[in-house]
Copies of this chain bind each other. A is one copy, B any other.
Amino acid sequence: MDAAQEAQKREAFRQAVVNTLERRLFYIPSFKIYRGVAGLYDYGPPGCAVKANVLAFWRQHFVREESMLEIDCPCVTPEIVLKASGHVEKFTDLMVKDEKTGTCYRADHLLKDYCKDKLEKDPNLSAEKAAELKHVLAVLDDLSPEELGAKIKGYGITAPDTKNALSDPYPFNLMFQTSIGPSGLSSGYMRPETAQGIFVNFKDLYYFNGNKLPFAAAQIGQAFRNEVLYAVILIDLLHEFVHLSIRGLALILLSALLHMPDNLLKKSSLQYSRSLPRQGLLRVREFTLAEIEHFVDPEDKSHPKFSEVSKLEFFMFPREDQVSGRQARRIQIGEAVSQGIVNNETLGYFIGRVYLFLTQLGIDKDRLRFRQHLANEMAHYAADCWDAEIECSYGWIECVGIADRSAYDLRAHTAMGEKEAMELKATLEANGEAEFHVCTLDKDVTIKKNMVSISKEKRKEHQRVFTPSVIEPSFGIGRIIYCLYEHSFYTRASKDGDEQLNVFRFPPLVAPIKCTVFPLVQNQQYEEVAKKIAKSLTAVGISYKIDITGTSIGKRYARTDELGVPFAITVDSTSSVTVRERDSKHQIRVNVEEVASLVKEVTDSTTTWADVQWKYPTHSS
């Protein structure tokens, strides 16, 4: 299969997954009855359940296992905090504008697309030119606005939609800006990450931990980035422009037979119209982050539990291997630390824990690698950084970043330094009072000399003095979930071979519903047994769905396979029932009284389906 066929196959696979996800409401493009907003998605009922399961497991696997201090901070953040952290100045993308229509594009994306396109499709490209374009791709992230602008002009790159000329690149801050309070004077942003909320509370958390290091704090929450997205619209949304009510008598049908201009949508089929903007569900404007800040003595980054993960072996892609053009290779994390490939034990410990987290969720270990940041990718203050990358139809996607950020973040937040305090003291002594700006009031308050005392104390301390280092594992929950969908999806022929049926092979841990209850035929006796089983499932805490429609049992299985429900209980007698496992389709007979506790055991993985099959009689359908 050549590259083009590969790409087509990947595209077809993605379409199948995304169509299933949208049809079964795992995702819904947000506000689609109003024609949608690019980069915003709702989690529908099954997606919402999957997300809750992933977050519950994250809490158990990280927060509880390590006794982390979990906190929960607001999204609205005053400007002063994000100035200190560097986000106001540096959290920008370089953009160019279509000089006639004003449409905006990411400058680096246009240049990248140009280079890739030339390299892939231009048969007359000279070796020299090819080398140049490859070099541009390699240094893309390091180009200054001027260099980027010069390349765009030099290659004659124009706006993709209109072929109009483009403006010079200019920085666009990716934070959503807003204003706090009624005066309009107090500027704020929606946080672009949750970490800053932890850093500004470091002192209190350190105290809460008995003034001892190391300790970790954690936060799960929404973050916001006003991404510059390719202007591809979800054109199928036109279908939604019908009356929302079910009054129905004068139903307006507005169906879109889509023949959009080529430069907007390259295909004209309805199916293609379902496609999503560049990296669709992976590049969004609001998303859930789960972040850990592990504070540690910079001179002792050993970890007491490192031995618990040190034997784990998985794909790693060290910096040296990337630079010298080698492939990712399987390395034991213990080896990686002892050889100095990974900077320290604590970083290695978290890499190991992240590997366990992702694979237990159902991420395929052969499409997961830990890639070390190159020198030019890494922030200047970072000691080492590894991304957990997952391969999906979009390529290798960064889903978790695990960085040793040294002491940068804590040093950034020093609300009033020695200098400022001493100046305040001097003013108070000279004038008897001083102006003191209070953000909350949007105004200066006059402080009199007798209100405060400021002193500088020299303390002799017996302990060594240092600023803690921070190891930060940061999880993009939405990206992990999307990759999990792709890794879990497969199709298989229906019984009669007429159609391909979709299945998500979610582990019970992740599955939105753990089991279904189907009365085989519609009769009162069976429905009562079903209700009895439902009650006992609730009692043991297993989520379920009853389907009492008269639809054929095969169709009901197919419907729930598509939601990734691992077990189905079919009520086909009043004393015993059939339990079917989703992927093997094996069926066993179990007593009505036993079935709930059996499903609980296989769901909690205290027993395996293989054991269960051995213990109970097989049902031959």
Contacts and interface: CB of A to CB of B under 8 A. Distances in A.
A136 interface: no
A76 B456 contact: no
A55 to B, nearest CB: 10
Interface stretch (A199-207, A353-361, A516-524): A199-207
Nearest to A68: B45
Given A222-B75, A246-B466, A285-B76, A103 B177 contact: no
Interface in A246-280: 246-260, 264
A70 B224 CA distance: 22
A351 to B, nearest CB: 23
A208 B450 contact: no
A450 B78 contact: no
Interface stretch (A228-236, A391-399, A493-501, A585-593): A228-236
Interface in A350-400: none
| Copies of this chain in the oligomer | 2
A121 interface: no
Given A33-B415, A75-B286, A77-B31, A241 B421 contact: yes
Contacts of A452: 238, 254-257
A458 interface: yes
A107 to B, nearest CB: 12
Nearest to A446: B261
B468 A253 contact: no
Nearest to A255: B453
Q: Which of A95, A206, A245 has its CB near the most chain B CB atoms (within 10 A)?
A: A245
Nearest to A198: B42
A182 interface: yes
A19 to B, nearest CB: 15
A492 to B, nearest CB: 24
Q: Which of A49, A247, A411, A438 has its CB near the most chain B CB atoms (within 10 A)?
A: A438
Given A204-B44, A255-B452, A410-B244, A249 B74 contact: no
8 contacts: A30-B74, A42-B72, A42-B73, A43-B72, A64-B543, A233-B445, A234-B440, A243-B417
Given A25-B208, A28-B201, 16 more contacts: A25-B205, A33-B203, A33-B413, A40-B74, A42-B72, A44-B204, A102-B442, A202-B244, A222-B222, A244-B413, A248-B461, A250-B456, A250-B458, A252-B417, A255-B453, A257-B450
Interface of A: 25, 28, 30-38, 40-45, 47-49, 51-52, 59, 64, 67, 69-78, 80-81, 84, 95, 101-104, 172, 176-183, 186, 188, 190, 197, 200-206, 208, 210, 222, 224, 226, 228-229, 231, 233-234, 238, 240-241, 243-260, 264, 285-286, 407, 410-411, 413-418, 421-422, 424, 438-443, 445, 448, 450-459, 461, 465-468, 538, 543, 545, 549
